[in-house]
Amino acid sequence: MTTINDNYLKLKAGYLFPEIARRVNTFAEANPDAQIIKLGIGDVTEPLPEACRTAMIKAVEEMGDRSTFKGYGPEQGYSWLREKIAQHDFQARGGDIDAEEIFISDGSKCDTGNILDIFGKDNTIAVTDPVYPVYVDTNVMAGNTGPVNERGEYEGLLYLPITAENNFTAEIPSDRVDLIYLCFPNNPTGATATKEHLKKWVDYARANGSIILFDAAYEAFITDPSLPHSIYEIEGARECAIEFRSFSKNAGFTGTRCAFTVVPKTLMAKTSSGSDVELWKLWNRRQSTKFNGVSYIIQRGAEAVYSPAGQSQIQQLVDFYLENAQIIREKLTAAGLTVYGGVNAPYVWVKTPSGLSSWDFFDKLLQTCNVVGTPGSGFGAAGEGYFRISAFNSRQNVEAAMERITDKFKAL
Ligand code: MLT
């Protein structure tokens, strides 16, 4: 008899966002006239920057001409894109990252899951609570956890609570862990990390031979010039960190798909017999075997992000979503809610009113205001009593959603 990967059976119900979509669809079917505004999943709404579109159109034409046609590209990505990323995103900010250390991919969600392919099964793993659910679920699928308990926590993972009391930045664990997932600007809380905070993690990781999996998918939303955009702005990070970046949220590529992962050549981990191995070699091997690269057309579009026109156009997009976040913060605060985040991040993290549970608030908001957000408890037990509102939507929808919440707040 064919058997399955039993670890999948340990997973809690559905993945968070499809579960929300399911509930919203049920509501919409029962209420066909409701004008639902979705501020749940962090999916962009604004059109692709002109510079990217122009570059992609040119690339399509090249593909239609025998002399410029391209077949398979390098699995790691084209060097012209990797060089621009290295120069612009890292070297220009004091990060010592070389183009060869950058691996172009079709998304950070896939990369943060796929990275587990190159790690052993006996690692101790720490995640924050709340956390982007992909880090947890992919560890469950890989067999790195035991069963889930009634709080929704998996045996074998170390959960580091992030709460208002610690500014939504986890304390350094007293015990040793092998892999640590950090995400700044944070999804879901919108919190940021200072250089001093990241330095503590880098020092901890180096002292303990740990590896930090640093998700910086939202770095473009940092407005405070003192905050680091990359972990490689911290001395010593080349020896202990992998970083994940994406064009999804800054350049609107959620439907277009382009991202990258940085694996420094100086980053080592141990074989089961205790010898050192370069993780770069393993990731390069993994990608060469399981991935055939991002399409030429899309990589040309991503390259255009680094042109002067592309830079100014993506800044306009980021500013637009940040203005949405500011409107959400101001309106919800005026309505009497306590809000966090949304200043250097596109997510506003809201304390639910009157002690409502996250899912109860979700249902009330959907039924009373026809507005969709994301229940904080979907990101982990410590997210209970919170709610995430995404700033990714049109101005009209954000304003309409805030107006509805303000008008009907007493009913919530
Ligand atoms: C979210 O809403 O948390 C995002 O859509 C996550 C993602 O980009 O996968």
Q: What is the DSSP letter of 88?
A: I
Nearest CA to ligand 1 atom 5: 42
Beta strands 102-105; 259-262: pairing state: antiparallel
Looking at residue 14, what is its pLDDT?
A: 67
In the three-class reduction of DSSP (H, G, I as helix; E, B as strand; rest coil), residue 284 is classed as helix
Residue of 19, 38, 41, 215 best suited for mutating to test ligand 1, as the one with most atoms within 8 Å of CB: 41
- Cα 187 to ligand 1 centre (Å): 8
Quick one: which of 100, 158, 165, 154 has its CA closest to 124? 158
Return the best residue to mutate from 45, 187, 248, 256 for the ligand 1 pocket (most ligand atoms within 8 A of CB): 187
Name residues contacting ligand 1 (CB within 6 A): 41-43, 109, 187, 248
Parallel, antiparallel, or unpaired for β 371-372 and 37-38?
parallel
Q: Which CATH code fits 52-307?
A: 3.40.640.10
* Cα R_g (the chain), whole angstroms: 21
Beta-carbon count within 10 A of 97 CB: 24
Structure tokens at 218: 């939202």
Q: 273 CA to middle of ligand 1, Å? A: 38
pTM (predicted TM-score): 0.97
Question: Token pair for residue 343?
Answer: 């200043």
Binding-site residues, in ranges, read 15, 42, 72, 108-109, 132, 187, 218, 246-248, 257, 292, 388
What pLDDT is recorded for position 13? 67
Neighbours of 263 (CB within 10 A): 24
231, 234, 118: which is closest to 179 by C-alpha?
118
Cβ atoms of residues 248 and 217 within 8 Å:
yes
Assess contact for 389 and 326: CB atoms under 8 A. Answer: no
User: Following CA atoms 177, 206, 239, 303 in sequence, which dihedral angle do they give, to the nearest 10 degrees?
Assistant: 60
Give the Cα separation of 291 and 67 in Å (integer): 26
In 10 A of CB 388, how many CB atoms? Answer: 26
β-sheet bridge partners, residue 125: 157, 179
Say how many C-beta atoms besides its own lie within 10 A of residue 142's C-beta. Answer: 16
Taking alpha carbons only, the member of 318, 315, 321, 314 closest to residue 390 is 321
Per-residue pLDDT of the chain (412 residues; tens, 9 = 90+): 999 999 999 998 666 888 899 999 999 999 999 999 999 999 999 999 999 999 999 999 999 999 999 999 999 999 999 999 999 999 999 999 999 999 999 999 999 999 999 999 999 999 999 999 999 999 999 999 999 998 889 999 999 999 999 999 999 999 999 999 999 999 999 999 999 999 999 999 999 999 999 999 999 999 999 999 999 999 999 999 999 999 999 999 999 999 999 999 999 999 999 999 999 999 999 999 999 999 999 999 999 999 999 999 999 999 999 999 999 999 999 999 999 999 999 999 999 999 999 999 999 999 999 999 999 999 999 999 999 999 999 999 999 999 999 998 777 7
CATH 3.40.640.10 boundaries in the chain: 52-307
User: First and final CA of the chain: distance in angstroms?
Assistant: 52
pLDDT at 412: 72
The correct CATH number of 12-47+309-409 out of 3.40.47.10, 3.90.180.10, 3.90.1150.10, 3.40.50.2300 is: 3.90.1150.10
CA distances from 300 to 199, 296, 398 (A): 35, 6, 32
Residue 350 and residue 168 in contact, taking contact as beta carbons nearer than 8 Å? no
For the CA of 40, the nearest atom of ligand 1:
2
Distances in Å between the Cα of 328 and the Cα atoms of 128, 153, 401 are 25, 31, 9
Tell me the torsion sign for CA atoms 133, 139, 142, 148: negative
- Give, using CA atoms, the residue closest to atom 8 of ligand 1: 42
The answer to whether 89 touches 245, Cβ cutoff 8 Å, is yes
Stated length of the chain: 412
- Describe the strand order of the beta sheet including 102-105 as a list of residue ranges: 102-105, 259-262, 241-246, 211-215, 179-183, 125-129, 157-161
- How many angstroms separate the alpha carbon of residue 393 from the centre of ligand 1? 14
Q: Which residues are annotated as a binding site for substrate?
A: 15, 42, 109, 132, 187, 292, 388
Cα–Cα distance, 294 to 74 (Å, whole number): 9
DSSP 148: B
Pick the atom of ligand 1 nearest to 249's CA: 8
Instruction: Indicate where the chain has its CATH 3.90.1150.10 domain(s).
Output: 12-47+309-409
Helical H runs in 181-295?
195-208, 279-290
Q: How far is CA 309 from CA 150, 221, 222, 300, in A?
A: 51, 18, 20, 14
Rounded to whole angstroms, what are the CA distances from 157 to 150, 173, 225, 295, 398?
15, 13, 34, 36, 37
